[in-house]
Amino acid sequence: MTGPHAFRAELLSVPEDPAQGGTVRHHADGLMVVEQGVVVAFGDHADLAPRFPGVAVERLPGLVVPGFVDTHIHYPQTDRIAAYGGQLLEWLERHIFPAEAAFADRGHADAVAGFFLDELLRNGTTSALVFATVHAISVDALFEAALVRNMRIVSGKVLMDLGPESLRDSVESGRTESEALIARWRGRGRLGYAVTPRFALTSSDEQLAGAGDLVAAHPDVLMHTHLAENMGEIAAVADRFPTALDYLDVYDRFGLVGPRSVFAHCVHMEDRALARMGLAGSSIAFCPTSNLFLGSGLFDLARADAHGVTVGIGTDVGAGTSFSLLATLGEAYKVGQMRGTGLDPFRALHLATAGGARALGLGGRIGGLLPGQEADFVLLDPAATPLLARRTAGADLREKLFALQILGDDRAIARTYVAGHCAWRRPA
């Protein structure tokens, strides 16, 4: 479909953060016009329809919001979601490293990548920053599958020369394989590359320095890692780097803290480190279901806000317990309650869409359904279950959105559109 086509529905997007004065764009009877995968108009049907005579209009029954952006997830951990027992370091050894070793096999990687991306679409997620494994072919498998689906996926080979024997690269192989992947995939489809040291404990100083060199050499790549998730992890980092000011400072010393850096978790952070992140323009992936599942702790969104740090939402599957960003927002609200702040439902939607896009350096392209942005969107069904139908009957927009976040999950995703094309449709 190359000519313009239009969707008539209730439309909602939150392109700017309401915590910083951003307004909610809502059109109860809206029209969104799409041409060649890009939004050309988004507004009231009554205003826009006369401007687009003759354009085919499809009615969508439900609430249209931007496609969700998952700022931190591990595709090779798909088959280890809901693995019982242990906090971070023990859970990695017991459940995760053995599962990741299987990605030395390309056929296995292809099969999991296909299932994983389809699961994202089923959950309304159209863009994601994704951990692969140490194997370069795990990235090829994911990118090839994403290319077929035209999804916005950012990923990279994991650097871990101090990892377990079955998952170790070397300073040299980590660098050359990363360079080769960047060269092989640059400019293809809607893909992006992230230099991905697993975390400070699994890379040598030389490899961390090499990661910094890669980020400096390639202005179009992101840096993606874990930071300050678990107390045992933090103690081990302090042991190994006794002169570092804190955990963030370890990454900083190797040139890994900048505006293209995305740090997952950041549960236990000093004010100094948050201030440094704010100044550097780095982003945090807030992963509430994972932080609860592994007993890592309660992320402090208000403190990140106070330091001006960009925040997106991550599911962090397999430590995360759901692919659904709706369900993840429900848990983010509960973490906010434990912190005494809650989480406004419009802000929550912003964090899971435009906020996440900004964290990934894609704020101009996706997340807001603004004219000129890519037409990735989701049709939400506020009556997806008997309970949701009962709770949202007669509800106003805010109540309906909140109910979807607290009670909703994949069942509430009626359709997912990628660049204006329907990529997932819930069976009748």
Rg for the chain (alpha carbons), in Å? 21
Site string for ligand GUN, 36-75 (x = CB under 6 A): --------------------------------------x-
140 belongs to the binding site for ligand GUN (CB under 6 A): no
Per CB under 5 A, contacts with Zn ion among 240-279 are 264
Closest distance of CB 347 from ligand GUN, Å: 24
Among Zn ion, ligand GUN, none, what does residue 96 contact (CB within 5–8 Å per kind)? ligand GUN
Total residues contacting Zn ion by CB under 5 A comes to: 2
Task: Identify residue 51 by its one-letter amino acid code.
Answer: R
Q: To 5 degrees, how large is the angle CA 282–CA 368–CA 285?
A: 30
Query: 249: Cβ–Cβ under 8 A, 6 or more apart, which residues?
Result: 241, 273, 276
Closest distance of CB 240 from ligand GUN, Å: 14
Task: Identify residue 218 by its one-letter amino acid code.
Answer: H
> CA nearest 131: which of 112, 148, 147, 118?
112
Per CB under 6 A, contacts with ligand GUN among 182-201 are 198-199
| 43 vs 164, beta carbon nearer ligand GUN | 164
316 belongs to the binding site for ligand GUN (CB under 6 A): yes
Query: 126: Cβ–Cβ under 8 A, 6 or more apart, which residues?
Result: 67, 68, 69, 120, 151, 152, 366, 376, 377, 378, 416, 417, 418, 423
| 126 vs 290, beta carbon nearer ligand GUN | 290
Q: Please identify the residue of the shown chain whose CB is closest to the bound Zn ion.
A: 316
Measured CA to CA, the distance from residue 6 to residue 24 in angstroms comes to 21
Among Zn ion, ligand GUN, none, what does residue 175 contact (CB within 5–8 Å per kind)? none
Among ligand GUN, Zn ion, none, what does residue 381 contact (CB within 5–8 Å per kind)? none
Measured CA to CA, the distance from residue 199 to residue 159 in angstroms comes to 9
Reduced to 3 states, what is the DSSP secondary structure of residue 326?
helix
Site for ligand GUN (CB under 6 A): which residue of 16, 17, 161, 229?
A: 229
Site for Zn ion (CB under 5 A): which residue of 316, 331, 344, 409?
A: 316
Measured CA to CA, the distance from residue 189 to residue 246 in angstroms comes to 39
226 belongs to the binding site for ligand GUN (CB under 6 A): yes
| 226 vs 365, beta carbon nearer ligand GUN | 226
Measured CA to CA, the distance from residue 357 to residue 367 in angstroms comes to 6
Measured CA to CA, the distance from residue 269 to residue 191 in angstroms comes to 31
Task: Identify residue 282 by its one-letter amino acid code.
Answer: S
Among ligand GUN, Zn ion, none, what does residue 17 contact (CB within 5–8 Å per kind)? none
Closest distance of CB 226 from ligand GUN, Å: 4
| 212 vs 320, beta carbon nearer ligand GUN | 320
What angle, 0 to 180 degrees and rounded to 10, lies between the N-to-C axes of helices 171-185 and 136-149? Answer: 20
Site string for ligand GUN, 317-346 (x = CB under 6 A): --x---------------------------
Name the one range near ligand GUN by CB under 6 A: 88-96, 205-213, 393-401, 409-417.
Answer: 88-96
What token pair was written down for 231? 């107390």
Q: In the chain, how many H helices and how many E strands?
A: 17, 16
290 belongs to the binding site for ligand GUN (CB under 6 A): yes
> CA nearest 351: which of 374, 335, 375?
335
| 177 vs 316, beta carbon nearer Zn ion | 316
| 96 vs 215, beta carbon nearer ligand GUN | 96
Closest distance of CB 41 from ligand GUN, Å: 41
Helices marked H in 254-409: 271-280, 288-293, 301-306, 325-338, 345-350, 356-359, 386-392, 397-407
What token pair was written down for 285? 């992936």
Total residues contacting ligand GUN by CB under 6 A comes to: 11
Name the one range near Zn ion by CB under 5 A: 80-88, 309-317, 378-386, 401-409.
Answer: 309-317
Residue 264 host element (H or E): strand 261-265
Task: Identify residue 96 by its one-letter amino acid code.
Answer: I
Site for ligand GUN (CB under 6 A): which residue of 48, 96, 317, 379?
A: 96
31 belongs to the binding site for ligand GUN (CB under 6 A): no
The residues that touch Zn ion, with contacts defined as CB under 5 A, are: 264, 316
The residues that touch ligand GUN, with contacts defined as CB under 6 A, are: 74, 88, 92, 96, 198-199, 226, 229, 290, 316, 319
